[in-house]
Amino acid sequence: MPHHFRRWPKASLHLHLEGSVAPDTLREIDPSLSEEEIASRYRYPDFLGFLKAYVWVCKQMRKPAHYAIAARRLFETLQDQHVSYAEITLSAGVILWKGEDFAAVYDAVQQEAAKARLDVRWIIDIVRQFPLEDARQVAELAAQRVRDGVVAIGIGGDEARGPASRFADLYKWARDRGLRLHAHAGETMGPESIWEALEIGAERIGHGIGAVGDPALLEYLRSKRIPLEICLTSNVRTGCVPSLDKHPVRAIYDAGVPLVFDTDDPALFECSLDGEFAIAEQRFGFTEPELQGIARNGFRFAFDPSISAWAKSMDPFAAPE
Ligand SMILES: [Zn+2]
């Protein structure tokens, strides 16, 4: 069956710059790294092992120029997949933890974004298990760039050690400054973690697969039109679901909850956006109209209001060639 979705215009809403750094790009950043070392670092047994691999990649990016290379290569990959709009998560919490100058890193990736043949916005990410003071600093850096490419703040990292409720005041502060609110939740934990994220105002949920056991939560997400960003391969590779067959995506979709598909950390999970659509079609029986709706959700649920407003009037996709 031809994969029509490969030619559709797509948006990418859940994608971490640091998790997109392919082995070849990492060798471009640091030619002294061997292929074997990178391959061994990109292998991990579980979610905490994955977080360690992610931090290792972050540590290899020691200068703004390294982030610029990562951004350039990511934009090329997205263009190849007909992604015309992307909200890319940048781990500001990790950049500060490394003792680097966030402003210089941000300027470097924004310069690359200006040259890219797609529209790029940034979600600035807080490491949820770090001290609250670090989170405040990240939120301030994000707020300073609201008119310069940043659309949202988010929380990511270890849900178990950093409950969303810690960030209630900070999220209110950020919203008052024009930032949209994102949260990873229900990835490694259950529905209570998603409820907490919603209580502090999260407008989109990264993963959210833990919602499946809570009919009231599914109904809330459906009626309030709060989308879950579903990353099928990611959830398998981190062990958040025991196998692809056990992934609850179909049950969540059939409950009427809006979804988008994405790759999360495509280099660390060896996946692509087109590949995620192919898995949805082949393994979960999503039909072409369903996949079209999900692709269009990427624009509808964009945090940039000019994109989401435009998406409402989007024509149905042209008939496949
Ligand atoms: Zn993520």
128 C-alpha to center of ligand 1: Å? Answer: 12
Task: Identify the pLDDT of residue 3.
Answer: 73
SS3 assignment, position 83: strand
273 C-alpha to center of ligand 1: Å? Answer: 14
Tell me which of 320 and 288 has the higher pLDDT. 288
Positions marked active-site: 187
Backbone phi, then psi, for 246, in 5-degree steps? Answer: -90, 0
Distance separating the N- and C-terminal Cα atoms of the chain: 13
pLDDT-derived band at 321, boundaries 50, 70, 90: very low
Task: Identify the pLDDT of residue 315.
Answer: 65
Q: Residue 109 and residue 69: Cα distance in Å, rounded?
A: 8
All residues with CB under 5 Å from ion ligand 1: 206, 264
Q: Residue 26 and residue 169: Cα distance in Å, rounded?
A: 38
206 C-alpha to center of ligand 1: Å? Answer: 6
Say what the pTM is: 0.95
User: Residue 77 pLDDT > 60, yes or no?
Assistant: yes
- Could you tell me where the beta strands, DSSP code E, fall in the chain? 10-16, 83-90, 119-127, 150-156, 180-185, 204-207, 228-230, 259-261
User: Residue 58 pLDDT > 80, yes or no?
Assistant: yes
115 C-alpha to center of ligand 1: Å? Answer: 25
Q: Which residues pair with 180 in a beta bridge?
A: 152
The answer to whether the beta carbons of residues 198 and 220 sit under 8 Å apart is yes
Domains and CATH numbers, the chain: 12-310 (3.20.20.140)
Long-range contacts of 160-163 (CB under 8 A, 24+ apart): 160/188, 160/189, 161/128, 161/129, 162/127, 162/128, 162/129, 162/130, 163/128, 163/193, 163/196
List, for residues 279-293, the tens digit of each pLDDT value. Answer: 999 999 999 999 999
Which of 46-55, 73-82, 219-228 bottoms out in mean pLDDT, i.e. has the lowest? 46-55
Q: Which residues pair with 15 in a beta bridge?
A: 88, 264
321 C-alpha to center of ligand 1: Å? Answer: 33
Those residues with Cβ within 8 angstroms of residue 149's Cβ, 6 or more apart along the chain or in another chain:
110, 113, 120, 121, 122
Q: Which pair of structure tokens corresponds to residue 293?
A: 């709706």
Q: Residue 117 and residue 288: Cα distance in Å, rounded?
A: 27
Q: Residue 315 and residue 321: Cα distance in Å, rounded?
A: 16
Q: Which of 260, 237, 247, 255 is nearest to 308 (CA)?
A: 260
Q: Residue 9 and residue 316: Cα distance in Å, rounded?
A: 11
Q: Which residues pair with 228 in a beta bridge?
A: 205, 259
User: Residue 25 pLDDT > 70, yes or no?
Assistant: yes
Q: How many CA atoms lie within 13 A of 110 on its CB side?
A: 15
Tell me which of 75 and 311 has the higher pLDDT. 75
